[in-house]
Amino acid sequence: MEITKIKVVLAGNPNSGKSTLFNALTGLRQKVGNYPGITVEKKTGSCFLNQNTKAEITDVPGAYSLYPKSIDEKVAQEVICNKEDKSYPEVIVVVADATNLRRSIFLITQIIDLKMKVVLALNMVDLSLKQGIIINVSKLSQKLQIPVVAINARKQDGIKNLKEAIIEANLQGSENSFFDIRTLFKNIIEETNDLRNSENVYGSFLALCMQEVNSKNKLHSELNILSKKHQFIPSRAQAQETIRRYKKIDTVVDFCSTKTKINANRSITKWLDDVLIHPVFGYFIFLGVLCLIFQAIFSWSAYPMDLIDGWFTGLSIWVASTLPPGVFNDLLVKGVLAGLGGIVIFVPQIAFLFAFIAFLEDTGYMARVGFITDKILRVFGLNGRSIIPLLSGAACAIPAIMSARTIASWKERMITIMVTPLMSCSARLPVYTLIIAMIIPSEQSWGPFNLQGLVMMAFYLLGFLAALGTAFIMKFILKAKERSFYIMEMPSYKIPDWRTVIYTIIEKVKVFLFDAGKVIIAISIILWFLSSYGPGNRFEKIETKWAGQENAETHIAAEKLEASYAGIIGKSIEPAIKPLGFDWKIGIALITSFAAREVFVGTMSTIYSVGDNSNIRTIREKLESVKNPDTGKAFFTTAVGISLMLFYAFAMQCMSTLAIVRRETNSWTWPAVQFVYMGALAYLSSFIAYQLLS
Amino acid sequence: MQKLSDIAIGKEYIIDSINDDELAQKLLEMGCTPGEKVVVERKAPFNDPIAIVVSGFMLSLRKQDASKIIVKKL
């Protein structure tokens, strides 16, 4: 039997339950890609509507209207309006929140006027009933002249009806109209129709509203001329249209719904808000939540991380001993597997972080965090919405930078992206742990607090303060392209949907593994080459020198690294890093750290020939015994340790982050600036610290 | 006529107009149209941003933006 395919787009307001419906429809048959040329994630999936009809579903970012304000919303508008687009839909399903019918159906009335085939999925009917709002679905369908299906995305109720409605809508025409824009603007619309060679009056109106001034595009400049002739001001026209459209919507809502009693859920929300955004307790609760997240990222994820580490070690040993020795074996074990292990090890932390973020977002708490922090963050050129990227940065800058997309203001988004990598990410943790263990005696304490823990905390705080400080400076450097707004819905509190949380985790982990993973693997292979090969016959000489001696392998490994290209680079940068208290060996570690910061530990263990038994304690003991050739005392003094930690705190030693910043900003300028300013900050602070302390 | 940024918490008002095109675009499409009832629900620490209930949902916005929204007594 032939299978028919229908292209379906899922649209709707933020918080309307759109993602939940998408998950309910497609399950795990989802793909996250990118829209060509821009950085917004494209979520697609598929499902069978009946035995021989398959829907290919695209989930577009949440939007209130077809007038775009952020890049996210621009995507939604483009997918729906651009007939040339590959995912131009045959049927659009608009998800509406029944507790908020008036606002929810604004978008669908616009889409109806574009003469598209639509289905309205009325979600959260159970909640609206609890609030005393009764909606007559058939009346709504009759008024809008489109199929309306009541669903409960969380409980997966009504999905079957929705699927049938999609098939039916696809078979029918789409000649309805909700509001005739010609009642407001007749002449200019008709002239625009001629210009665009189209009968679609609302399409012409949208084209007029979205015309670009001084564009090289022929249509745009013609629209400019037309607008001048008719004194058409897009923003005014849009406002006029919106008000008239809402007037018509009000009559529909009045006709289809009845309100019986006052809002009960509101009072629960009110009560929770009294506590959660209390001027004093609000901040303490937020700090408590943060502590819990950190606890999860650092302690709970240690177990799965140890497991993953164990698997990769096992796998490396197995591969190394099973495959015939040689270059390929070496590349596979020390290049590819080492790189892979370095990525996969972060999956537990990323999963925990996004579990919390998804959970907090789904409950409605995140909007409150933005509410109580916006005023403070604004001082630093940031926005209440910057809080999520900044906090996520404490786990990993990669997903954190991706989450900055919801910030509509270009300037605030750029500042957020630029400073997020200063937050102490989890890759710095192993570096800090090792150095702190070396330079701070574990038995020392300050009151009830262990000194080592305090130093660790101080470095986290330092990262946060550096991020705020840099943001503050950038606020004066960057020119705003548009005004900054903080307009955010504060949804009623809800019990989070576990499915949404799980799907978010899977999605974010996938993006991290594949997007960052590609870069990390590539860099790992380059670094493997640089540290496994050297010019001339140096390597053979080392092997003959140590042949047959005791502990030959570890000595050979150390000397080979010194003779390799990486060693040569390390030595050549030594003059530059000497004022920071570093020698060429640390220089090599700084270079290899570009794959990922935690590679520092592994490199140090190789270079100081610790051998295979490389757990933190043995590396520490080895490093502690290293003597400074000039003074004869221990090399790793407090001054060197602090300088090194400062360097790792500030320097942009993460290729994957640079790659993500490039993707998010669509230019190499931003990552380049980021690399330079963070490097300068690292160098200067290490320099000052070392010179003062030594 | 008063500015939305100046009214007391919990009192019902009606939106009269929004004196800012760019802000109006964003608020109108969310349903904050002239004639809608509006109540200041609460204020964040330092009295900024503020949270308002309008057209059946809660919305937060900055004080400077709220000052562009003109309201009248019910």
3-state secondary structure string across A45-110:
EEEEEECCEEEEEEECCCCCCCCCCCHHHHHHHHHHHCCCCCCCCCEEEEEEEHHHHHHHHHHHHH
Q: What is the DSSP letter of A183?
A: G
For testing the chain A interface, which of B25, B27, B47, B48 should be mutated: the one with the most A CBs within 10 Å? B25
Confidence (pLDDT) at A298: 65
- Count A/B contacts: CB-CB distance under 8 Å: 108
* DSSP one-letter string for A206-264: HHHHTPPTT-S-HHHHHHHHHHHHHT--HHHHHHHHHHHHHHHHHHHHHHHEEE-S--H
- From CA A57, how far away is CA A65, in angstroms rounded? 20
For testing the chain A interface, which of B4, B19, B33 should be mutated: the one with the most A CBs within 10 Å? B33
Mapping DSSP to helix (H, G, I), strand (E, B) and coil, where does residue A351 land?
helix
Residue of B nearest to A364 (CA): B58
Confidence (pLDDT) at A71: 67
Range(s) of the domain holding residue B47: 2-73
pLDDT over 80 (residue B11) = yes
Residues of A in contact with B34 (CB under 8 A): 243
CATH architecture classification, A4-171? 3-Layer(aba) Sandwich (3.40)
Confidence (pLDDT) at A137: 93
Q: What is the mean predicted confidence (pLDDT) over B40-67?
A: 91
Q: Inter-chain contact A488–B57, Cβ cutoff 8 Å? A: no
CB contact at 8 A, A364 and A494: yes
Calculate the CA dihedral of residues A341, A344, A348, A354 and round it to 10 degrees.
150
Residues of B in contact with A486 (CB under 8 A): 49, 60-62, 65
Q: Strands of A4-12's sheet, edge to edge?
A: A30-34, A41-50, A53-59, A4-12, A91-97, A117-123, A148-150
Confidence (pLDDT) at A103: 93
CB contact at 8 A, A408 and A480: no
Listed by start position, the domains of chain A span: 4-171, 181-259, 498-693
Distance from CA of A482 to the nearest CA of B (A): 10
Residues of chain A whose beta carbon is less than 8 angstroms from a beta carbon of chain B are 64-65, 67, 69, 99-100, 102-103, 106, 235-236, 238-239, 242-243, 246-247, 269-270, 273, 277, 279, 282-283, 367, 370-372, 374-375, 378, 384, 482-483, 485-492
Residue of B nearest to A281 (CA): B45
Residue A372 tokens, joined: 């109580």
Mean pLDDT, chain A cut into blocks of 10 residues (694 residues total): 88 88 84 58 85 90 83 75 76 93 94 92 89 91 93 90 92 85 90 87 88 80 88 89 94 90 69 90 89 74 85 88 85 80 78 84 88 92 88 81 81 94 86 83 69 83 94 91 82 86 84 71 79 80 77 75 86 92 88 78 68 56 76 83 94 86 87 96 96 90
* DSSP one-letter string for A470-519: HHHHHHHHSPPSS-----EEEPPP-PPPHHHHHHHHHHHHHHIIIIIHHH
CB contact at 8 A, A662 and A668: yes
Confidence (pLDDT) at A265: 57
- From CA A66, how far away is CA A81, in angstroms rounded? 9
Quick count: other Cβ atoms within 10 Å of Cβ A603? 24
User: Is beta strand A117-123 parallel, antiparallel or unpaired with respect to A91-97?
Assistant: parallel
Q: Inter-chain contact B57–A486, Cβ cutoff 8 Å? A: no
The minimal CB distance from B30 to the residues A103, A235, A283 is found for A103
Residues of B in contact with A279 (CB under 8 A): 45
B64 torsion bin: left (phi>0), alpha (psi -120 to 50), beta (else)? alpha
Largest CA distance in chain B: 29
Q: Inter-chain contact A490–B59, Cβ cutoff 8 Å? A: yes
**Phi, psi (rounded to 5 degrees) for B2:** -140, 165
Confidence (pLDDT) at A399: 76
Distance from CA of B22 to the nearest CA of A (A): 7
- Which residue type occupies A565? Y
Which H or E run includes A20? helix A18-26
- From CA A214, how far away is CA A208, in angstroms rounded? 14
For testing the chain B interface, which of A110, A209, A241, A487 should be mutated: the one with the most B CBs within 10 Å? A487
Mapping DSSP to helix (H, G, I), strand (E, B) and coil, where does residue A8 land?
strand
- From CA A594, how far away is CA A165, in angstroms rounded? 53
CB contact at 8 A, A689 and A646: yes
Q: Inter-chain contact A488–B48, Cβ cutoff 8 Å? A: no
Number of domains in chain B: 1
Q: Inter-chain contact B31–A488, Cβ cutoff 8 Å? A: no
Q: Inter-chain contact A486–B33, Cβ cutoff 8 Å? A: no
Q: What is the DSSP letter of A299?
A: I
Quick count: other Cβ atoms within 10 Å of Cβ A565? 16
CATH, residue B11: 2.30.30.90
- From CA B25, how far away is CA A242, in angstroms rounded? 8
Give the 3-state secondary structure of A379-410.
HCCCCHHHHHHHHHCCCCHHHHHHHHHHCCCH
Q: Could you tell me which residues come within 8 angstroms of residue A381 by beta carbon, excluding any fewer than 6 positions away?
A: A411, A412, A415, A471, A472, A474, A475, A478
Q: Inter-chain contact A236–B21, Cβ cutoff 8 Å? A: yes
Residue A113 tokens, joined: 């006027």
Q: Inter-chain contact A487–B42, Cβ cutoff 8 Å? A: no
Distance from CA of A306 to the nearest CA of B (A): 43
